[in-house]
């Protein structure tokens, strides 16, 4: 409740609790969320503006060079298609819209300018906060996008440093750390988290959480592995709904004042316990479709928020 958050030992204890012990803890995490984030939750939405064709080999990703998943592959969308996606997201109740592109980084200046024009129009014509997830952007590129009205830069670490080589071998962890530091230094709101359920240990999960604290990230997106056929991690998921809730609780207690946004894999991993994510400490969730998989209808998410007595919040 001081805002400092629990340490690594206590975080590990949380992840080791039995299912019967979680219920009491939800009362604690809910109180922490309420104190720092209130009862208004944040909904964000994304467009996969450039899909597949990635040089990287991230084992969880259907767009990677190792994946044989039958996904749509296309270069950067035209500006109007991005605008249509943003308007659709606003209708779904989302307050923030993220333009996501596959690949290690967006180096092509014409593509970056197209994204910049879309950001500017989404702010003025649609009235949404904007975010980009374009790989490891340089300081100049972030400054350019901020000058167009960008609010947030998203770049996940995915997992702990020690486990990362089991997931990705085509770039190293330090490149991702550097990308986050560059975005922070450029003055962006930084959204940085990871994916859980890839075979990492509880200690790895806590290590990621502590690294996010060191980096002073503003928002933590929490993804739960949805193992897609054709990716190396297909058939490997060992997450349970209560296991997912414990991860959210751990993150909320480590990061009392940060945004914790539940993103991909929510429906398949939490199933009927999705409504408990806010008691566990989430302050927001992604609505609509994910990068290569479909989310559930927005009306169901909006009804869930309303049934829980929660409201919707801007950044």
Interface with ligand SF4 (CB under 6 A): 54, 56, 58, 61, 63-64, 102-104
- Between 104 and 257, name the residue whose CB sits nearer to ligand SF4: 104
Closest separation in Å from C-beta 35 to ligand SF4: 34
CA-CA-CA-CA dihedral for 48, 56, 266, 16, to nearest 10: -160
Closest separation in Å from C-beta 62 to ligand SF4: 8
- The residue behind tokens 């605008």 is 83
- Residues 6 or more apart from 262 whose CB is under 8 A from it? 222, 248, 277, 282, 284, 285, 286
Closest separation in Å from C-beta 59 to ligand SF4: 9
Taking the C-alpha atoms of residue 103 and residue 101, their distance in angstroms, rounded to an integer, is: 7
- Between 45 and 63, name the residue whose CB sits nearer to ligand SF4: 63
- Report which secondary-structure segment, H or E, holds 30: helix 19-37
- What letter does residue 78 receive in the DSSP assignment? P
62 close to 102: Cβ distance less than 8 angstroms? no
Closest separation in Å from C-beta 252 to ligand SF4: 25
Helix (H, G, I), strand (E, B) or coil at 135: strand
Closest separation in Å from C-beta 65 to ligand SF4: 7
- Between 133 and 211, name the residue whose CB sits nearer to ligand SF4: 133
- Between 56 and 202, name the residue whose CB sits nearer to ligand SF4: 56
- Between 54 and 119, name the residue whose CB sits nearer to ligand SF4: 54
């Amino acid at each position: 409740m001081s805002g400092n958050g629990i340490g690594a030992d206590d975080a590990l204890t949380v992840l080791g609790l039995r299912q019967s012990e979680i219920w009491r803890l939800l009362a604690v995490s809910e109180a922490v969320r309420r104190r720092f984030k209130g009862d208004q939750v944040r909904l964000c939405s994304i467009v996969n503006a450039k899909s597949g064709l990635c040089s990287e080999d991230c084992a969880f990703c259907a767009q990677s060079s190792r994946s044989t998943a039958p996904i749509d592959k296309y270069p950067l969308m035209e500006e109007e298609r991005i605008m249509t996606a943003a308007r659709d997201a606003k209708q779904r109740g989302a307050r923030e819209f993220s333009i996501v592109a596959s690949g290690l980084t967006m180096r092509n200046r014409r593509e970056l300018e197209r994204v910049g024009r879309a950001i500017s129009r989404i702010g003025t014509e649609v009235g949404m906060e904007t975010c980009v997830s374009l790989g490891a952007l340089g300081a100049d590129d972030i400054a350019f996008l901020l000058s167009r009205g960008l609010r947030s830069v998203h770049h996940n670490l995915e997992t702990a440093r020690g486990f990362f080589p089991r997931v990705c071998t085509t770039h190293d962890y330090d490149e991702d750390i550097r990308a986050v530091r560059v975005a922070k230094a450029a003055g962006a709101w930084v959204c940085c988290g990871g994916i859980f359920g890839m075979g990492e240990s509880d200690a790895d999960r806590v290590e990621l959480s502590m690294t996010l604290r060191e980096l002073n990230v503003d928002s933590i997106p929490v993804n739960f592995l949805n193992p897609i056929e054709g990716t190396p991690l297909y058939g490997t998921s060992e997450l349970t709904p209560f296991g997912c809730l414990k991860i959210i609780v751990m993150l909320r207690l480590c990061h009392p004042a940060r945004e914790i946004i539940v993103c991909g894999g929510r429906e398949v991993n939490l199933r009927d316990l999705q409504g408990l994510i806010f008691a566990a400490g989430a302050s927001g969730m992604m609505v609509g479709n994910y990068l290569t998989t479909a989310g559930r209808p927005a009306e169901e998410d909006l009804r869930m928020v309303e049934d829980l007595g929660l409201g919707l919040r801007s950044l």
